[in-house]
Amino acid sequence: MGKSFASTAAVVVAALFLTAVVGEVAARGAEDVFAGKVLLLKKRPPSYFKTKGGFVSYLRSHSIKTVHANEDNTWTFETMSFFRRPLGDYEVEMVFYDVEDGSSKSKRRFADSYTQYTQDRNTRILSGKAHLTRDSFDAHKKYMIVVQHKGRELAKGFFTTKGVSQAALDQQKRVEIEMKKMEESMKQLQKLAKEQEEEQKKKEAEENEKAADDLF
């Protein structure tokens, strides 16, 4: 009887502990849950959530790690950056690095950057939209996005690009150029053949005319 009561009590305590933890996590805002991170999203989140937990759940389920190329072979996605403390300024630098060889400062390679602004200098959440173009970026590569402010790294995130590689696009372009050259060569040959044919007809006509004159 005592053993059964002890087991039941342990289950109740565990359940209460789990409830308390879940409640604490749900009460935390996204700026605390994702502090120091940059999340990538396919589309901008709704402007209103009934609870903090609802916003956190949305971000967890809609964040992406892979970005697929658009029809024009560029990449577009939404970003949400979360800071550990208020920004204290109206702008930051969004810096992208190629991290194929590693993400440490000695191994990562600069790809591109742009300035992003906010209307609230005390914000801890900064949303924006990124549009990555070639030649700074390529398909099937790993990148890191870092939010920097006066040399300090406030938040970072990682993603992989998908699409047609630059090497494949360059090869396709070379093929198209060669095909165009062949088409131009064919046109020149056809033009030359037509000119020769007309020249031959003209020569034959002149010979026939001369032969007729000789008869008379």
pLDDT per residue rounded down to tens, the chain (216 residues): 544 434 433 333 333 333 333 333 334 799 999 999 999 999 998 888 888 899 999 999 999 999 999 999 999 999 999 999 999 999 999 999 999 999 999 999 999 999 999 999 999 999 999 999 998 999 999 999 999 999 999 999 999 999 999 888 878 777 778 788 888 888 888 888 888 888 888 888 777 777 776 666
Does residue 12 lie in a domain region? no
Domain count, the chain: 2
Residue entry with tokens 């209307």: 119
Q: 144 and 183 in one domain?
A: no
For the record, the structure tokens of 25 come out as 């996590």
Give the DSSP per-residue string, 99-163.
-TT-SSTTT-EEEEEEEEE-S-TT-SEEEEEEEE-TTT--SS-EEEEEEEETTEEEEEEEEEEES
Determine the pLDDT at residue 201.
85
Q: Report residue 183 CA to chain centroid gap.
A: 36
Give the domain extent around 206: 166-211
Q: What is the CATH number of the domain that holds 123?
A: 2.60.40
Determine the pLDDT at residue 215.
65
C-alpha span between 56 and 159 (Å, rounded): 20
Its pTM stands at 0.70
Determine the pLDDT at residue 194.
87
Q: 88 and 72 in one domain?
A: yes
Determine the pLDDT at residue 82.
97
Residues in Cβ contact with 86 at an 8 Å cutoff, skipping those fewer than 6 apart: 121, 122, 123, 124
Q: 156 and 174 in one domain?
A: no
Task: Decide: helix, strand or coil at residue 36.
Answer: coil
Does residue 100 lie in a domain region? yes
Does residue 15 lie in a domain region? no
Q: 97 and 203 in one domain?
A: no
Determine the pLDDT at residue 180.
83
Determine the pLDDT at residue 10.
35
Does residue 20 lie in a domain region? no
Let me know: does 145 contact 81? Beta carbons within 8 Å. no
Q: 157 and 96 in one domain?
A: yes
Phi, psi of 89 (to 5 degrees): -160, 175
C-alpha span between 56 and 22 (Å, rounded): 13
Q: Does a cis peptide bond (omega within 30 degrees of 0) precede residue 135?
A: yes
- DSSP tag of 34: T
Q: 74 and 173 in one domain?
A: no
